[in-house]
Structure 1
């Protein structure tokens, strides 16, 4: 069925942008360490059957000690630039979407820019929308590309949730995997390509949070001892919000583009939970084969998730010129959003 809900007050829906752009190259970096469900049963009170039934996840990756988010970003950036037949010198901007930055200061995007040698590029960090940060990053890139002086933007989405997951946490411990993904966005001569419309929404909630380490609750021996620097997540709240907001946001965005969900060729969705994905597609009334699934082998990779699905399609030649697609995600805050695009 097609949703007919009215726009909520906490949603901003916008039209497209006149300057066309396209995804010229993508890449994904996966740390080599694989953690299976069976591995988790040795330290968590869970089973493979329970994890698969409730999440669809069978394994996930873990970043090696001594490495950081920027290292994953760099590993994804190189192949994406090569796929786009570009070099770091061609970049006008580097945007990093991540809630697991290398350190509070300096910015992770600046660390990545410097290591790449992208000397003239602007550097931006998109951080506190968590898993929805990738949507915000692409929207920022789309608007930058409207400027005549900007022709090429590298968007990197990377999270290593293993660094902020409390040991022994039966809920968060089974969901998250570490990964990075990259997308190179460039101007194109293809008329009608680029951003057709967008829908963004937000509603304050502390049901997914990292409480300590900021100005309200600075790091102290007490906050460390009580584990307040680890991610705390109310799974029921995530389910209720995601299953409402994702299909609603997608419907709002595609309608603004003059389309219906059935008209969209590809759905590159936040890879959080197979049951959330299935519910969203049923609400939209579209077949599952239009939405690639990567969470079964990667877990919930935060901001990188929807880009891993995008990369899955591009590397298999399934994203063709003229195809319409959506990028949609929800993250802590809560933030949610959808971009409706046409491939150039």
Structure 2
């Protein structure tokens, strides 16, 4: 990819339960006990057992067997406050001041609307002299990857030297707690990514697809009471179209799957990730890198899922400098967005 400016990754940041007392990590059993109403528990567990620890444990085991999710993170503040935590951590790692930023991009499906999430992030960073311009992007679960692409485009164009991308999701608000068939999937999280002009390009490729035809537009939709999805159809979509775009993107970017150190997909559920893992093993027989599956202890955090994994694994030293990382996101639309970078 040739352009006047190269874009480098400066730093990542992400939220952890220990960042703020408003975070709480709940098991599925604790969710049933603390978040669901008594009426919903009666409907789920039956009149006689709606407060029974044994019945709750059985239901928890059933949920875990279907979703692969044992624990989820809930944040008691706003999406804007959630975003600000990751933004501040990201800038602190880079030792960059808010006043040095040229652009702040907010990615969210659960944000404040307007004023934008990015506006609120700028306010939270606290520098009233900052000249950074702000805007938001929304595109369901691929929004984190698309926001990274937008930030990369700004740096490459020369419009901004320092671009802060922040994706924040209070995905636990996507479905009311009493709608347990949907609500047992989601968690809250945010990540930040600082991009800058550099001597060496960090990104290998970007690859996006929007496929709303043949009824796909109705497979995952926002509703008055949260969201609804055609789970079996979306599951098949991941196993077919998503895998096909992954294979095609790697081929177009001239990437040998055997050279990829980390594959980081969107984290919807354990069941979907296992399907993706099996299909990818068949399509990429030479791939021997890490397939990252973290949904079990975070829940589905929508657009914040892949960036949070990247930031956490980078901080832990699992993703090392120079590693080749392939990221794949997918969601409502139905949409797919893939990208690759060198850590």
TM-score normalized by structure 1?
A: 0.83
Secondary structure of 1:293's partner?
A: coil
Q: Which residue of 1 aligns with 2:24?
A: 33
Query: 1:207, 1:233 within 8 Å by CA — same for their partners in 2?
Result: yes
Residue 237 of structure 1 deviates from its aligned partner by: 2.4
Q: Which has the higher contact order (CA 8 A, sep 6+)?
A: 1
Select the residue among 248, 256, 261 that pairs with 1:265.
Answer: 261
Checking the alignment, whether the CA contact within 8 Å between 1:166 and 1:231 is kept in structure 2 is no
Query: 1: CA distance between counterparts of 2:5 and 2:114?
Result: 34
Counterpart among 133, 144, 147 of residue 122 in structure 1: 133
Give runs of aligned pairs for residues 1-344 of structure 1, distance below 5 A: 19-30=5-16, 32-42=23-33, 43=36, 45=44, 47-64=59-76, 67-102=77-112, 104-117=113-126, 119-127=130-138, 129-190=139-200, 193-204=201-212, 205-211=217-223, 228-285=224-281, 290-343=290-343
Partner Cα distance (1:162, 1:309) in 2: 18
| Offset of residue 312 of structure 1 | 2.3
Structure 1 residues 17 and 178, CA gap change in structure 2 (3 angstroms): farther
**CA separation of 1:124/1:290 partners in 2, compared to 1, >3 Å: closer, same or farther?**
same
Question: How much does 1:279 deviate?
Answer: 2.3
8 Å contact kept, 1:292–1:313: no
Structure 2 stretches lacking a partner, 5+ long: 17-21, 45-57
Aligned residues: CA RMSD: 2.1
Larger radius of gyration: 2
Shift of 1:161: 2.0
Residue-pair matches, total: 307
Q: Report the CA distance between 1:160 and its aligned residue.
A: 0.8
Report the 3-state secondary structure (helix = DSSP H, G, I; strand = E; otherwise coil) of the residue aligned with 1:313.
Answer: helix
Taking the aligned partners of 1:96 and 1:248, their CA distance within structure 2 comes to 29
Q: TM-score, normalised by structure 2?
A: 0.83
Distance 1:174 1:271 in 2: 14
Q: Which runs of 5+ in 1 are unaligned?
A: 1-14, 212-227
